[in-house]
Structure 1
């Protein structure tokens, strides 16, 4: 007599079924991530709003509100652009994904933690300027966010299908971003006098990848 084939699923699911049961719709993860990123960007602006009443108490003019707090304004603008760019890459990573595993969801939580923590070093920059420790902390948080994003992109690329996984170009972009931030962190630690200039590497990873793709011949589709 044959045992009920469904019985074993109650005692222990197969690997494929267990993965399906523990998966999460990708749109739920991206919607939640969007909300957290929006809050993080809002938190970046709150210290700037607080500058106005403080300036009035100190007797500063309207122009001095800006000229006396260029460090705070510059760190806000830089961080706004950085978070916006990280968010757009995050969307590209999950653009074709329908389901995500529990492991991906856990890594995404680490990525969100980096985004939420970012206003802290930004506020330290506005208070302490480009002190070596503050700079290192700021770039380290950015690097950690890029590493977690790269881990998700690689995992989805390896486990997904051609229709659902992020493209090779997206994975290369994420990896290039992580590599640039790794170099920037090393430069900040080795030569803190450079200030924020090492982050300019983020402007060259895209053109550098485009040049590499142009110079590197690609195999035709279907060729091993």
Structure 2
């Protein structure tokens, strides 16, 4: 008789100047963890990891707009964890200073990513998979944790909204395809952690999202 895997440890909270949702996902058995989108307030993230008793092994990013990786350098320095990004967003990562000037946010340099995320790549801790969901940016990723029916959608899908496509590299046709073909194909009762604001569920968005219906 096989036992069902224990539920993941998961905590989501807003960080940084633009209120990006940062998520910690941890394996309850190994105590290894992912940090997703550390957009600021690195000490707050480190404090939460300590309270949860977790050790970061990977820092992964849904995309490379400034508010999703401002604290990535400090997190890497403090934990030694590797930085992961889809290569199609390298041009945004490399232009962090320009982005900060555009939005009036103080600039702190961040080291280059250690590894490029791939579509359908298994994530560290063996608990999830990376999905390439371009549109908001060329390299936008979502992270799917099937056993927990949990989706980290970044700025691709919001509660009754979708990511804007008028910034660098945005493409409405691509975000529509990503949502329809990749995200709306997941479990209707899956919880969606958005890049900003409240959580939602896949089924609710398929029925009620005014921009893209399922």
Shorter-chain TM-score tier: under 0.3
User: If you compute each CA radius of gyration, which structure gives the higher value, 1 or 2?
Assistant: 1
Q: TM-score, normalised by structure 1?
A: 0.24
Given the two structures, how large is their TM-score scaled by the length of structure 2? Answer: 0.25
